[in-house]
A and B are shown apart, each in its own frame.
Chain A
Amino acid sequence: MRREHEVGAVPRRQRGNHREWEPGRFVKEFPLYRLVAEDGELVGAPDEVTLPDAEVLRLYRLMVLNRSLDERMITLQRQGRIGFYIGSIGEEATILGSAAAMAESDWIFPCYREHGAALMRGMPLVTFLCDLFGNAGDAMKGRQMPCHEAWRPGRFTSISSPISTQISHAVGAAWAARLKGDAMVALTYFGEGGTSAHDFHTGLNFAAVRKIPVVFVCRNNGWAISVPRERQTGSETIAQKAIAYGMRGERVDGNDLLAVHAATRRARERAEAGEGPTLLECVTYRVEGHSTSDDPRAYRPAELVEPWKKRDPILRMRRYLVRRGALAEAEDERIRAQVREELQRVLKEAEAFAPKPPLESLFEDVYAEPLPQLREQLAELEAAVAADPRVANPRHSDA
């Protein structure tokens, strides 16, 4: 019997050279896969729940941390203490549910909203916060805007601002792993806006042609900065794009941690078994702006957001855990208090680092060894700073 989530193939009766356009057809062919309803009730088959309660609790705590971190950092940006921030409020289940379904040896190729996954992969919270400050504790040595982290020990790669460029990197790494005989599966994230970019098309095409073990996770959060999904793609769903490339596609409730986890795990198992890549469309919503540089009130009526607040992924997991007796009110309070305390403490730790990385780091890592002109340019800059300290002052005209 065909299960709800097995929706990748086009039914035989609809195959043929000529098909009339039927509005809504792909929404029916790619129904939203869900395991937990908004009130926390299990609505999917119990045997599809791949996570024991203890693991759900761990991810719940990570979602709470991710949410608190985002809220706190948005405030910090408003206070002028960090320059920029990209949050993932409302999208935590998509990010953490999918990352948690991967093996530790798998690689993650992030888009720019997945710092929750970086923390899950062991990036120390203090290192992430130092990245936001671009200070001496920043693993990226203050070279990128905030939220462009990389964490090699966790096989979490480096974030680029150009959209979707990481998709073919994921394909290449997974291809390399297969050539080396490793069981590694690559997971890569992008928004629905990213499906407009050429790297999405080339990446999916390359992966499908060679059956490369990649899980493509589209965080369909409804908006690409100010442009709604309908102005980003003519497709009714993102998942249906899988058909054209010759891979499996699945549409998942992106606010349902258990559904995202189960779907990603299935996709991973298929990839590992040599059955090729999967495109997962995680349907979620960006309840805040694209970044702190954005004010969604300019282009989005507030009433669009309200229904999504009711679908909050953290609230849903909380209800699920409470229903199962795995989370008591007092325990939830304790988790939240602990997260608040941790953030406060680590924030102080991060702010204690020197405000800037050392001058010479400007010239490091351009090449494996600095070229002669880079050495000369460092000397030139050092001499300029020594002659006039205003060189290092952001307000250069100040005396």
Chain B
Amino acid sequence: MPTMNIIQAVNDALRLEMRRDPDVVVLGEDVGKFGGVFRATQGLQDEFGADRVMDTPLAEGGIVGTAVGMALYGLRPVPEIQFADFIFPAFDQIVNEVAKYRYRSGGQYACPMVIRTPYGGGIKGGHYHSQSPETHFVHTAGLKVVVPSNPYDAKGLLISAIRDPDPVLFFEPKRMYRAAKGEVPQGEYVVPIGQARVTREGRAVTLVAWGSMWHEVDQAAREAEAEGIDCEVIDLRSLQPLDTGTLVASVKKTGRAIVVHEAPRTCGFGAELAAILQERCFLHLEAPITRVTGFDTPFPYTLEMEYLPRAPRVLKAIREVVSY
């Protein structure tokens, strides 16, 4: 089985889906000859031509709006937003058009598409190349939100997303683009959207994360194990739909939960998870549900490692929660 990084896995998924379905098209800034600023679309224009891998003018609202029209007409567009920070000029199109089209037309029309975008910090990107805006989209009815943490999931989830009848926001952890390597099967396979994965079993505390934060949490869990604390680790993979069953079962078993995300704390997705667990696991809880998150500031440049909830902060939270 070949070893790939996340970028290669994304590229492989796009290539396979474009071969399988002639209606799958890619559009965005620099996605053509250049292959995208992170090279996720490298070589696709050579294989599929400039009519299926389309460089667009520089306007995110236009990229997504155009993709809406393409999807309405029957294509399966995969627009790329170069950095998640630049998704906000397309926010109206995503929230008011992409997400609502099926609903507002009474099911007469739909616009399935996959909006791919690299997100997150840790690459010395400052606050316009580092944000983690998933919550805005989880909060929007009509969208699915997927965040893989490793190459295997990136490929399988992207293939699922492209085949999904609903619009999907596909957040790629750019810090892990080349750092996370792993075995990835050749050929098509799918990882179903909406299924979390328990990546480590334990009884002391449940750690929940997604995307690049899964790596910090996994590291913290390994360090905690050396201290005799066995953590259960869940990689959510999909925030909407959410695998509530896996989460609740784990927290009922451990009685403790720590949610880790790099977006700011207030109204971050961790708040929703804490509310769900409070509603469904109240009588099982041995300690308050705890959040380890980014801070309620814009994303910083120089102090980004302090801002990001990395393994030492997670480990500190683990010690506090298990000794509560």
Contact = CB atoms under 8 A, between A and B. Distances in A.
Interface of A: 107, 109, 138-141, 143-144, 148, 150-152, 157-158, 160, 162, 165, 167-177, 179-180, 184, 186, 198-199, 201-203, 205-206, 209, 364-368, 371-373
B108 A151 contact: yes
B70 interface: yes
B96 interface: yes
Given A141-B106, A172-B67, A365-B103, A205 B72 contact: no
- Residue of B59, B71, B96, B144 with most partner-chain A CB within 10 A: B59
A195 to B, nearest CB: 15
A90 to B, nearest CB: 28
B102 A202 contact: no
B75 A167 contact: no
Nearest to A374: B141
Nearest to A156: B108
A215 to B, nearest CB: 14
Interface string B62-78: 10011111111111010
Nearest to B241: A371
Nearest to B59: A202
Nearest to B242: A373
Contacts of A150: 104-106, 108-109
B74 A140 contact: no
Given A150-B109, A169-B68, A179-B51, A206 B62 contact: yes
Contacts of A160: 96-97, 100, 104
B65 A174 contact: no
A171 B69 contact: yes
B105 A368 contact: no
Contacts of B201: none
27 contacts: A109-B69, A140-B106, A143-B103, A143-B106, A144-B104, A150-B108, A151-B108, A157-B72, A160-B104, A168-B65, A168-B66, A169-B69, A169-B72, A169-B97, A172-B69, A173-B72, A175-B70, A176-B69, A177-B73, A179-B25, A180-B73, A199-B61, A364-B107, A365-B102, A366-B102, A368-B110, A368-B165
Nearest to B72: A173
Interface in B270-313: none
B47 interface: no
B166 interface: yes
Contacts of B102: 365-368
B73 A202 contact: no
A148 to B, nearest CB: 7
Nearest to B25: A179
B287 to A, nearest CB: 26
B97 A165 contact: yes
A176 B75 contact: yes
- Residue of A139, A168, A177, A198 with most partner-chain B CB within 10 A: A168
Given A158-B101, A177-B73, A202-B65, A168 B93 contact: yes
Interface in B44-62: 51-52, 56-57, 59, 61-62
B142 interface: yes
Given A165-B96, A205-B57, A172 B105 contact: no
Contacts of A199: 61-62, 65, 93
- Residue of B62, B71, B242 with most partner-chain A CB within 10 A: B62
Nearest to B103: A365
B75 A138 contact: no
A163 B153 CA distance: 39
Contacts of A139: 105-106, 108
B31 to A, nearest CB: 15
Contacts of A364: 107
B225 interface: no
A209 B56 CA distance: 9
Given A152-B105, A160-B100, A176-B75, 4 more contacts: A140-B104, A150-B104, A162-B92, A373-B242
Nearest to A170: B69
B244 interface: yes
A180 B101 CA distance: 22
A85 B56 CA distance: 38
Given A199-B65, A202-B59, A107 B73 contact: yes
A150 B61 CA distance: 22
B196 to A, nearest CB: 13
A175 B92 contact: no
Given A144-B104, A152-B105, A365-B107, A176 B57 contact: no
Interface in B132-147: 141-142, 144
A363 B69 CA distance: 25
Contacts of B25: 179
Contacts of B74: 176, 180
Nearest to A186: B69
A158 B68 contact: no
B104 A165 contact: no
Given A160-B96, A172-B66, A371-B241, A143 B104 contact: yes
A295 B135 CA distance: 40
Interface string B151-188: 00000000000000110000000000000000000000
A101 B75 CA distance: 26
- Residue of B51, B72, B73 with most partner-chain A CB within 10 A: B73
A346 to B, nearest CB: 20
A148 B104 contact: yes
A368 B166 contact: yes
Contacts of A144: 104
Contacts of B77: 172
Nearest to A179: B51
A205 B62 contact: yes
Contacts of B70: 172-173, 175-176
Nearest to B77: A172
A374 to B, nearest CB: 9
Nearest to A208: B57
Given A140-B105, A141-B106, A202-B59, A173 B69 contact: yes
